[in-house]
Chains A and B, each alone.
Chain A
Amino acid sequence: MGNILEIKNLKHHFADGTPGIDGINMTVREGEFVLIAGQNGSGKTTLLRHLNGLLVPTVGSVTLAGISVSENPARARQMVGMVFQDADSQIVGETVRDDVAFGPENLCLDRAEIQKRVSEALEAVRLTEFADQSPHLLSGGQKRRLAIAGILAMKSEVLVFDEPFSNLDYPGVRQILRQILSLHQAGHTILLTTHDLEKVFAHADRLIIMKDGKIARDGSPNEVVRDAEMFGVRQPCASRPGIEIGSWLN
């Protein structure tokens, strides 16, 4: 399969001079599950925000399936669905159904198509029974699933999760993890950032470790994970010698 994402020599300096990211080169294959780890401030969020044009590169380029993001940001936003760290401030609609419909409405689809996509997306994240509730009454895990439904309804191919497990309890983490894995199985390309490898490590195809805005390690999870602690990322217990690699789902 081809590369869906190509990032070349990407640099971003914020207005105050902080170098957010500093010379990133990477490509992602279609259908790959990439884990991006790194301590706070290492530039994970800044990197992700370039994928759909929320941030514009100071230097370098981001290409999605052959077309540059800065050339066609609207297409990039439809192709790359993003679930942000703070689930509450992503809620736009007054009911669960309205919130999911927000993206398709922005794509100017007709009503029948919007309704179809909304019911499919709600079905996929198992929130159908809450369709007419206020989103603010949902639990933490349900709010994340709502955010996921919101991007599924836009038929995004690449799904980006920025710290999807933060502020979730154990059942919440398991719900979201299961959801992400089933989306990966359905063929979506997945990029997921975390500072805690424990929860997803066993499921990823590839692990990238970032440090000070640069890619410090990039490779298969089992190899890269050995160096994790050098870059301020806690090594999962499951990858230490003598312990069987397990999953949070078992």
Chain B
Amino acid sequence: MAELTAFSFRTGNSLLHGLDARFKLVFLALISFAGLKAYLPGLFILTLALAAVMIHTRLSFLSVLKEIRYFLILLLFVFAARALSTPGVPVLEADILGKTMAVTGEGLYHGTLICWRLILTVLLGLLLVSSTRPSEIRAVMGWFLAPFPFIPEKRVATMIGLTVRFIPLILSQAKETSDAQRARGIENRKNPVYRLTKFAIPLMRRTFEDADKLVIAMEARCYTENRTEPELSSGRADWVALVGVVCLCILIVVG
């Protein structure tokens, strides 16, 4: 079945686990914003801070790397595009098919800056998700949406929770469907449209059937929108952390 990924909650008793989820979401927003405004010294400070938190929460660097490997490949392209397209002083030049391609110093600088910012943002998200119960994240969404009229916050929160829950199921079903079809020689068919429809239709049917079963199971367990939500409680530690995070953000932006 579904694999456990770094993007899923794991229990722990680190400081980060203990903080109020609302505060953590605010921290995420503040630090990501500061990170996007930061330059190399600021990013360096933020990296040190994040590394310290990662060590403290026992999130393994290897599993994180494994988790974001495709993202890193994407970043490589972003970096290359930046390095080649930013005008400035060339540090490396090559003739490719009669055109001169130049990697500029400015390009390297901007590429590094952008990729570094993006990696740190992803790490922030990962730290939040791995240290906060999904049910708490759901409750926080409801809490932040509650002041807005016309938004049924409880329904939105349930929908988000169910969507997250369904992704691993759909993926594992997609794999099963594709294996079953390959076992019956679908690869001999060259027409991609034929293959796509033959793949998508059974997959969708099964997904809908499963959604149906889930709805029945939820109803059988008395599902209502009016239910006990996880308690969100903040304490002194949260406010202390808030002060710390604000200081960190100032340091990052000014640095």
Chain A residues within CB distance 8 Å of chain B: 49, 52, 54, 74, 77-78, 81-82, 84, 86, 88-95, 98, 102-111, 114, 132, 134, 136-137, 150-151, 154
Contact = CB atoms under 8 A, between A and B. Distances in A.
Contact of B214 (A52, A89, A134, A150): A89
A92 B165 contact: yes
Contact of B4 (A88, A93, A137, A150): A137
A100 to B, nearest CB: 10
Interface of B: 1-2, 4, 8-11, 133-135, 161, 164-165, 168-169, 210, 213-214, 216-224, 226-229, 231
Nearest to A111: B231
Contacts of A104: 228
Given A132-B10, A136-B1, 14 more contacts: A77-B221, A82-B220, A84-B213, A84-B217, A89-B217, A94-B134, A98-B133, A98-B135, A104-B228, A108-B224, A110-B228, A111-B228, A134-B2, A137-B4
A160 to B, nearest CB: 9
Contact of A90 (B161, B164, B217): B217
Contacts of B231: 111
A94 B4 contact: no
A109 B231 CA distance: 13
Contacts of A111: 228, 231
Nearest to A89: B213
Contacts of A109: 228
B205 to A, nearest CB: 14
A90 B169 CA distance: 12
A88 B216 contact: no
The 8 closest A-B CB pairs, nearest first, are: A89-B213, A94-B134, A132-B11, A106-B222, A90-B217, A103-B221, A136-B2, A105-B228
Given A132-B11, A134-B2, A136-B1, A98 B134 contact: yes
